Structure 1
């Protein structure tokens, strides 16, 4: 890979070789960015007695209405017991509806209710606002680079889920 303007970091650092210190700084930046990214939804969730596991379930049910419990388990990478606790709360609170599968009666298909969709919208609005502001500040090249870095960090199984979600929306 030839070194050129696209391979230069901020301040002219070559991206072909990163020192342990530069990698540590990236790890720390990701940690604090994640804290900021989740702070607004955490406040909203806490006011409703929910946590991040509820948020993740609501998010993925929203983008894949009718997803099965098994698919959600695979996406989230949590135990069945843990997901069942979260789903039971969301169903009892009227945010998620669980429907028996038409083809396979053992399957449970998950849908957000109107109240669930409203909560999801509120949570996503907070995160979209933060992402939009950061993307605007960083510029279009940084947005593309950031996405490439995130995708490159994904394990193959996670990348398949990610690609599948993008395809489902198209």
Structure 2
């Protein structure tokens, strides 16, 4: 933020400025995941469980295959996470309505409660950061994040955003 205040041309960043941005992303991500990590640690869950819960909540009835694409993990890894979430009563897997081979995923009431607890913690952190930065910085931050996404992930991000409105 000091760079902006000093009037530097941010379109031509030095390697050191880029390194500082990369480090800021690492530390911000660490802060962003800290609260959910603490909540999940007592349940023997990790970030993969959190991501699965988040995206099942965002796209109720999503298929296992769609979740694989969104999360970018192996089928074996996702099956391990889903098996635990289903056994613990947080996720329900239902046979597909149009295709009986598909499995549609839904959060149970307990899963919805955990998702709320996890996202409330992250929303509080995001809300405080957004308020501190101001609307122009928030808009710029979103532009930077979207510009860093691969085109396919950007399309999925936009589709989730539109579905949630």
Using the size of structure 1 for normalisation, the TM-score is: 0.94
| SS of corresponding position for 1:87 | helix
- Measured in 2, the distance between the counterparts of 1:83 and 1:33 equals 26
Q: What do residues 59-107 of structure 1 show as CA deviations (whole Å, max 9, x unaligned)?
A: 0000110000000000000000000000000000000000000111100
- Structure 1 gap segments, 5+ residues each: 1-7
Q: What do residues 125-164 of structure 1 show as CA deviations (whole Å, max 9, x unaligned)?
A: 0000000000111111100000000000000111011011
Using the size of structure 2 for normalisation, the TM-score is: 0.97
* Root mean square deviation, CA, Å: 0.9
Deviation, 1:10, is 3.1
| SS of corresponding position for 2:42 | helix
Moved over 4 A (4+): none
- Measured in 2, the distance between the counterparts of 1:79 and 1:16 equals 37
- Measured in 2, the distance between the counterparts of 1:37 and 1:57 equals 17
Deviation, 1:113, is 0.2
- Measured in 1, the distance between the counterparts of 2:5 and 2:80 equals 45
Deviation, 1:112, is 0.1
- Structure 2 gap segments, 5+ residues each: none
- Measured in 1, the distance between the counterparts of 2:106 and 2:67 equals 12
Q: Report matched runs for 1:1-170 at 5 Å.
A: 9-170=4-165
- Measured in 2, the distance between the counterparts of 1:145 and 1:112 equals 33
Number of residue-to-residue matches in the alignment:
163
Deviation, 1:23, is 0.3
Deviation, 1:22, is 0.5
| SS of corresponding position for 1:102 | coil
